[in-house]
Homo-oligomer: A and B are copies of this chain.
């Protein structure tokens, strides 16, 4: 998480102001029976539908019992956007500003001073140590209930700098349809995110239809305290678990205890999750989102510090895992384009 924040803050420096213009993409009339209406006809859509048909065909050789229908999705860059930096990064910077009145010393202390002065170059210069300080000072020291309220309040008011919309508007319409399609076919849909689990849980049910108990992510430690007003769980400034890279199969195993049959990611941080999924017996589905649409969303892969996609793309190509070409495969990116 720390390294990711460092990378994302770096990137922020290179982001030029991007206009607020959003294209209204034509949504063609689709047969009502199409489970994935925002997906253009093509290899990826066909691979998804063929997979579902095969694993639900009772008596077929690829039939998968409902109890084993576990699907895992990365979040940043797979279910919602992650540019110009992970959205949790915006949250952390906003929290520094919100907390500043209680921390007069921050006016003179880096990296907080840099955040308060919107000097992103100096924030980035504070390095991993600085970013860790920002994360811990903005994510710890409160109870779990207080933090949930803080996340909800932030999401209700914060706006994405490019689109001028709430961050939760920037979820991918085709992926919402895919999540629903999987659930209609008996899947339990899970998130396996490198982002913070408690940053996800307050809103994933409302936005993705994924209940909080089906969100896996990175975490800091919490401690039980019996106060005079009752028991609380206090968030501590100490990493508990990093759910990224080789940590993703570990997190999936820890929280779910079953190997997924379906996994979708978009970056090298998802590669081990996909390898772990692929290695199970029977038919499996491994998919990647490739960000190829600078106009409607963003275009980036091998060189991007946020959501770098290099090794996982090579492995997907060599193993014939479906790769979404966002520009080609997605008729609509965000739900608001449909209006």
A interface, CB within 8 angstroms of B: 67, 70, 144, 188, 197-198, 201, 205, 211-213, 215, 219, 222-224, 226, 230-231, 233, 240, 246-247, 249-250, 253-258, 272, 275-276, 279
9 chain-A/chain-B pairs, Cβ below 8 angstroms = A67-B211, A144-B253, A197-B257, A198-B257, A212-B257, A226-B275, A230-B275, A231-B249, A240-B254
Which residues of chain B are near A254, meaning CB under 8 Å?
197, 219, 222, 240
Of B213, B222, B223, the residue contacting A256 (CB under 8 A) is: B213
Q: Are A258 and B224 touching (Cβ within 8 A)?
A: no
Residues of B within 8 A of A257 (CB): 197-198, 201, 212-213, 215
B258 and A233: CB pair below 8 A? no
Asked if B197 contacts A224 (CB within 8 A), the reply is no
Q: A67-B211, A257-B215 are in contact. Are A272 and B224 (CB under 8 A)?
A: yes
Output the least CB separation between A199 and chain B (Å): 12
Asked whether, in the complex, the Cβ of B197 is within 8 Å of the Cβ of A222, the reply is no
Is the pair A205, B144 in contact by a Cβ cutoff of 8 Å? no
Q: Which residues of B contact A67 (CB under 8 A)?
A: 205, 211
CA distance A279 to B144 in the complex (A): 14
Contact call B256/A224, Cβ cutoff below 8 A? no
Partner among B144, B198, B224, B279 whose Cβ is within 8 Å of the Cβ of A231: B279
What's the minimum C-beta distance from A300 to chain B, rounded to whole angstroms? 26
Provide the bound-state CA to CA distance between A254 and B231, in Å: 16
CA distance A276 to B222 in the complex (A): 14
With most chain B CB atoms within 10 A of its CB, the pick from A144, A226, A254 is: A254
CB contacts (< 8 Å) of A258 on chain B: these are 212-213
B275 touches A250 (CB 8 A): no
> Other than the known A212-B256, A231-B275, A231-B276, what 17 A-B pairs have Cβ atoms closer than 8 Å?
A67-B205, A67-B211, A197-B257, A198-B257, A201-B257, A212-B257, A212-B258, A213-B255, A213-B257, A213-B258, A223-B250, A224-B246, A224-B249, A224-B276, A230-B275, A233-B249, A233-B250
Q: How far is the CA of A253 from the CA of B201 in the complex (A)?
A: 11
Taking the closest CB of chain B, its distance from the CB of A9, in whole angstroms, is: 28
Chain B residue contacts of A275, Cβ below 8 A: 226, 230-231
A247 to B258, CA, bound (A): 23
Task: Compute how far the CA of A44 lies from the CA of B15 in the bound complex, rounded to whole angstroms.
Answer: 63
CB contacts (< 8 Å) of A188 on chain B: these are 213
On chain B, the residues within 8 Å of A197 by CB distance are 254, 257
Contact of A279 with B213 at beta-carbon distance under 8 Å, contacts A253-B144, A257-B197 already known: no
In order of increasing CB-CB distance, the 9 nearest A-B pairs are A212-B257, A224-B246, A230-B279, A201-B257, A213-B256, A231-B275, A224-B249, A231-B279, A231-B276
Give A95 to B98 CA distance when docked, in angstroms: 55
